[in-house]
Amino acid sequence: MKKIKQLLSNLVGLVIVIGLFLFVYQNFTGKSIDLTNVSNSLNLSSVKSVDIKQLNLQIFSSLKKQLLATSEKQAKTQVANLVDKQITDWKNQLLKGIISESLEKDTGEVSEKVSGDTKIAIMSDSHESFDNLQKVVEIINKDESFDLAIHLGDLSRVGEQVQLTESKKILDKLEIKYYAIPGDHDFWESVGAENYIKVFGMDYYSVIKNNWKLIFLDNADIENGLNTTQLEWLKSELNATDSKYRVLFLHIPLYSTHSERRVMGGSDQVKKQKEEILNLVRENNVKAVISGDQHYFNIEKDPIKKEIKHIVVGALTNDRNLQPARYGVLLLKSDGRVEVKDEAI
């Protein structure tokens, strides 16, 4: 499994480097490069399921003209859209061609709900796959056992207000209460939570349900982490005596061995803050930390306090997803146990 992930990572990195080189070369020399020759020289043609001819870089050819006609804010959004789309196309082709074996994993299990339990539908990383978001909303509405629903962020591709609004419009169709937090993609256009807050309101808060405190954090800022105000608020929430059990919801995982590069910690400052939050979690009766971002369902025990579960919910998006679109079913038991199950839509 590790060899497959390493191979995939290396190939994706190689394709991205080639793409950037071609972009610079074509824009500054005015010449084009035959991708078939590039494929042959790199021996990529041996990967039969990846057609290098289809890795079309023409999308970059009009970039200069578009940027000249736009404002700085519009330009940032257009660049993000174009680059993200191209990289998504590459990754999707590579994933379909290379990942052919079934990946064994713990898909979790949820017992029958009884009085005092809280059953929650967990969604994450829908991006702009609005059809999938609509499907899971319909599934949730048909199941009367759900008490509430949660979306763990990345409700848009690059934080455009129009996409965030579309996601909210779909989530508003839920017949039960739902809560949401932002993901790193929801920060791109406004370079922060501004667009998200305009559409959804608060980006961090807590609620209490059946002796459980549900704490929702905004850790979507991969460069700076939580600001001082939010961090002090978290400490206060964990020190309060208003609930018996606690569960923490956030977008970027605090701990994961499945993808160690995609946990909270883009800088030394954020890595240090992650460790501080982990220590707070271990000291304050938090039963589970539930996140998204990795586009892969995963359950792990905390390396220091084994009774804490680190749960990563799979993604609803069709882009860069190792699995079919999915959501999670979470059961917070009245005795403090946490159960979860992975469900494809």
Share the mean pLDDT of the chain. 80
pLDDT tens for each residue of 82-141: 665 555 555 554 454 444 334 456 789 999 999 999 999 999 999 999 999 999 999 999
Q: Does 24 score more than 80 pLDDT?
A: no
d(CA 141, CA 157): 25
Please report, for the chain, the start and end positions of each structural domain, with discontinuous segments joined by +: 2-98, 108-344
d(CA 94, CA 4): 12
d(CA 319, CA 299): 22
Residue 211 gets the label, from left (phi > 0), alpha (psi -120 to 50) or beta, of left
**Distance from the Cα of residue 295 to its chain's centroid:** 6
Please answer whether residues 303 and 276 qualify as being in contact, where contact means their C-beta atoms are separated by less than 8 angstroms: no
Q: Does 27 score more than 70 pLDDT?
A: no
Q: Does 60 score more than 60 pLDDT?
A: no
Could you tell me the pLDDT band of residue 3, with boundaries at 50, 70 and 90? very low
d(CA 175, CA 178): 9
Could you tell me the pLDDT band of residue 262, with boundaries at 50, 70 and 90? confident
The predicted model gives 58-76 an average pLDDT of 53
Q: Give the pLDDT confidence score for residue 338 in this predicted structure.
A: 98
Please answer whether residues 40 and 82 qualify as being in contact, where contact means their C-beta atoms are separated by less than 8 angstroms: no
CA geometry: angle 150, 155, 158, nearest 5 deg: 155
d(CA 159, CA 127): 9
Phi then psi for 53, rounded to 5 degrees?
A: -60, -25
Reference 51, options 41, 36, 37; nearest CA is 36
pLDDT tens for each residue of 275-298: 999 999 999 999 999 999 999 999
d(CA 16, CA 5): 16
Please, which residues have CB within 8 angstroms of residue 135's CB and are 6 or more apart in sequence? Answer: 325, 345
Indicate whether this model's pTM tops 0.75.
Answer: no
- The residues pairing with 209 across neighbouring beta strands, listed in sequence order, are 212
DSSP 8-state secondary structure symbol assigned to residue 290: E
- Per-state percent for the chain, helix, strand, coil, to nearest 5: 40, 15, 40
Q: Does 167 score more than 80 pLDDT?
A: yes
CATH superfamily of 108-344: Metallo-dependent phosphatases (3.60.21.10)
Strands (E) located in the chain: 108-109, 118-123, 148-151, 177-180, 205-209, 212-216, 245-249, 286-291, 298-301, 309-312, 326-332, 338-344
What does the block give as tokens for 191? 């370079």
